[in-house]
Amino acid sequence: MVNMENQITDDIREYEHPFVAVDLLLFTISEGKLKVLLVKRGVEPFKGGWALPGGFVRMNESIDDASKRELKEECGVEGVYLEQLYTFGEPNRDPRTRVISVAYYALANSEKWNLRAETDAEEAKLFEVGEIPHLSFDHQEIFDYGIKRLRSKLSYSNIAFGLLPDEFTLTNLQQVYEVILGKKMDKRNFRKWISNIGLLLPTGKMTKNTAHRPAKLYKFKKNQVVFFG
């Protein structure tokens, strides 16, 4: 085997090496369910199959920028919480050639989601996480990993706020936790806990036009330390 370290210094372009892509898990909550955006593939391989949105990393953009670009181009979403998940690099994960994929996950609330008009509705669709179809490539593995990270990180970070509008009620917030963790929580204990965390800021406003008692609206303290994970 030639020494690639020297080779790359001599003539970079002639050396065969893997492609690099980003794949995106875009989570959102709608109709009280946790959903993920999938796209129907328009080209081979797996033409007509469902897959995660994604694309190749260009030479002059960072992988973070590539994922933001794909998020905008393929999902029509901007300015949302985005975090690198894991890098998948089995040699045959793409039948065309060697493609290493850096997976990201993003969290969008329904407000951000309204920006999605530019996406072709025929090719992109939200699926409830419990009901996703067969996925192309190794995207099922990426999905499984992402769900695990999301659930895990929920309990020791503030990512839940990425799925909510700027102002929300404590019930809204609790529902995010319940939907993601897939279990009911006690209202009093939840409120006690979330208040002690110290991330909430009362806005002084209330919900309006409800057919019942109005609820206080809160927002999320910005510039807050996010726990590591």
Partner DNA sequence: TGAATAGTGTCTTTCAGACAATATGCC
Partner DNA sequence: GGCATATTGTCTGAAAGACACTATTCA
Q: Please report, as ranges, the residues that interact with DNA according to CB under 7 A.
A: 169-171, 186-189, 191-193, 196, 208-216
Residue selected from 30, 61, 144, 210 as contacting a second copy according to rule CB under 8 A: 61
User: Does residue 9 bind a second copy (CB under 8 A)?
Assistant: yes
Contact criterion met (CB below 8 Å) for 74 and 41: no
Contact criterion met (CB below 8 Å) for 87 and 98: no
Residue among 130 and 202 whose Cβ is closer to DNA? 202
Residue in 73, 90, 123, 128 annotated catalytic: 123
Strands, E assignment, the chain: 19-30, 33-40, 50-51, 54-56, 81-88, 99-108, 124-128, 200-206, 216-220
Residue selected from 48, 78, 79, 91 as contacting a second copy according to rule CB under 8 A: 91
Give the torsion through C-alpha atoms of 204, 209, 214, 217, to 10 deg.
-40
Q: Which residues are CB-neighbours of 123 under 8 A, at least 6 positions away?
A: 39, 40, 42
Tell how far CA 18 is from the center of its chain: 25
**Which partner, DNA, a second copy, none, binds residue 201 by CB below 5 to 8 Å per kind?**
none
**Which partner, a second copy, DNA, none, binds residue 63 by CB below 5 to 8 Å per kind?**
a second copy
Q: Which residues are CB-neighbours of 115 under 8 A, at least 6 positions away?
A: 76, 77, 78
Taking the C-alpha atoms of residue 56 and residue 23, their distance in angstroms, rounded to an integer, is 9
Smallest separation (angstroms) from DNA to the CB of 207:
7
**Which partner, a second copy, DNA, none, binds residue 49 by CB below 5 to 8 Å per kind?**
none
Annotated catalytic residue 123? yes
User: Does residue 193 bind a second copy (CB under 8 A)?
Assistant: no
The catalytic residue positions are: 123
Please report, as ranges, the residues that interact with a second copy according to CB under 8 A: 4-6, 8-9, 12-13, 15-20, 43-44, 55-64, 84, 86-87, 89-91, 96-98, 100, 102, 148-149, 152, 228-229
